[in-house]
Structure 1
Amino acid sequence: MGGYILDLTIIALLVIGITAVMGVVTNGIGVKLFGGKKKNVFVDKSGRIQTGWKSVGGSKK
């Protein structure tokens, strides 16, 4: 019974992991191929909105 649970857990983790990696890779390929001129529009807008904000967290070296 323990072997079955171990096998089930390993397969579940593999399926979830492979699905997550495939999603990220597919999204990256889609942005590169079909992004066109506006592929950075959300990153650029976010950067413009956050200009002048105070930095929080992290270490202050």
Structure 2
Amino acid sequence: MVEEFWANAVWSLAPTVLIGLIFWFVMRAIIRSDRTERDAYSRIEAEERAKFARERPANSTR
């Protein structure tokens, strides 16, 4: 009877734990991809600003 209790407890908690783990992995992937995208966007923006600064020096007048 005690064995049945623990087996029922494990089988009752398993779906919740598995869904929680899947949710955690999905959220982790989303957050990491967002961070990677922001880093790439910052790098591209810095390159564009540097290119713009080379094309138009700060001392030049219009």
2:17 match: 2
The structure 2 residue matched to 1:27, chosen from 42, 48, 56, is: 42
Q: Report deviation, 1:6.
A: 0.4
2:30 match: 15
**Which structure 1 segments of 5+ residues have no match?**
39-61
* Counterpart AA for 2:46: V
Q: TM-score when scaled to structure 1?
A: 0.55
Q: TM-score when scaled to structure 2?
A: 0.54
Q: Which has the higher contact order (CA 8 A, sep 6+)?
A: 1
* Counterpart AA for 2:22: D
State the percentage of identical aligned residues. Answer: 8
How many residue pairs match? The answer is 38
Cα RMSD over matched residues? 1.6
More helix by share: 2
The runs of at least 4 aligned residues of structure 1 exceeding 4 Å deviation read: none
